[in-house]
Structure 1
Amino acid sequence: MTSEITLFVNPAAGRGRGAHAAQPAARELRAAGFSVRTVIGEDAPDALSRARDALARGTGALIAVGGDGLVSLALQAVAGTPTPLGVVAVGTGNDFARSLGLPVRDPARAGRLAAAALKEGPAPAIDLGRAGERWFGTILASGFDSRVTDRGNRMRLPGGRFRYDLAMLAELAALHPIPYRISLDDGPVREVEATLVAVGNGPLYGGGMRMCAGARMDDGLLDVTVVARCDRRTLLRVFPRVYRGTHLDHPAVTTHQVRSITLEARRTTGYADGEPLGRLPLTARCVPEAVRVLGAVLP
């Protein structure tokens, strides 16, 4: 294990927390005897290129300092390589870190944990989802939730989370079922009308919503949650239960476990780890033990 560690930093994460979080994390790593190099890109493609350069030089670990968006970018660099990923979670949602029992908004503790894990030996390996060329760690969303994200991304005002709250209200007003064609593993095509279909490598997305509550990140399977056609009143009743994961018991919800899934639906975008994948159709598959994560706690 090389003693040089790379901090992969999003200075804008968590309304500026990313820039401040890098310092205490770096101090803890240096105190443990590691040299620390910081990578900050001008934009996402430049940051990813710099992260891959660090891996090519033989860095001992890539430690993402930011939120789920930066973790997603880091996964594109480290997945399928022997280089472990560390996470200093200081974003808004931090669903990847929460799913693995990692510290949230405590950069010094996250730095200490990463340093200890590097000294202890190989980090636990977790599965990742892969859709096309993109890796994802949490959930691939499609349907109502992805349309809320589409609308929110198009809105200039207001800023922050309130934009997506307004987008959700607008999508509720326009709610209609989406005709899907779904293929589970090598099975036949199923035609269903659904409100949304979520494909989970992990249980969480959207800042703590347990949409795929039963998903494990080390079982070699993706968990699929299908919310069937429902009216606004039903959706509003079910929605609060998503934070507890108890929505899976509702009659409108069905679940599946698969190694791969193909989703087809017109005018519907897929998002994975909150990042756009493009319009359906999309095929996602589980890749077992695709990345090692420092300090991960697997149930």
Structure 2
Amino acid sequence: MSVTDLDKRLSLAEFAARIESGMTVGIGGWGARRKPMALVRALLRTDVTDLTVVSCGGPDVGLLAAAGRIRKLVAPFVTLDSVPLEPHFRAAREAGALQFEEWDESMFLWGLTAAAHRLPFMPVRGGLGSDIPRRNPRLRTVTSPYEDGEELLAAPALTLDVALVHMNRADVRGNGQSLGPDPYFDDLFTEAAERAYLSCEQVVERFTGPPQSLLVQRQNVTGVLHTPRGAHFTSCAPDYARDEAFQRAYVRAAGEPDAWREFEARFLTGDEAAYQRAVEAHCAREGAAR
């Protein structure tokens, strides 16, 4: 096999063309932290719809919900961190515009783990005694086959058609490095999916840093996309922090239909390069105003 055979680099357009309506799409990151936003924006430029989205949700869920692309959401939360509840998600829930299957974080972790290990479920204590099993009929209990006889919750496998994750560094073969303080569940997302797409701040020939930062393994990755500032407006530590000023503008616009149409026209109608230019212009105006 030649080196070129191992080069998995794709353009955003090539990636987006591979996503089909009706797929189950897992999105890595956590709230408003290290979300593969360039990939989400690329999906918004297509006509894919009827998606089942699995995510520790943030503006990824918000943008897809605002565009009417989500049929069902599986998530423990949808937050912007410094804004407790993502505004587009709240509006979609209030309008009944999507199905919402709520899991707690431990169930979510073990559901991804079950899928990664090709198991039907994993037993977990999380969720027992709460309203989650009562509101989610897909969740069942199991009894330990050993002498303890403990009743446990069965977290079903969160098997994904596609996973989207964003890393600080990657190579062309699909190895991904996380340099931030938390890996979140990104490695599990790639292992739980039939196909995984990894966007990154930099494509490198060699990795430096501790070996435990090499989070994503190439055998689990289908495509690599070089997307500098591709997590914006979420954080991508240590490369950049969350753009709180832009997030405030996003939240303000989300609360008013006319303002949101203006926001979409300004930031979401062009390609990724146009988005980044519009963000730079916005930041320059904000700085001048201060």
TM-score, length of structure 2 as denominator length: 0.25
Greater strand share, 1 or 2?
Answer: 1
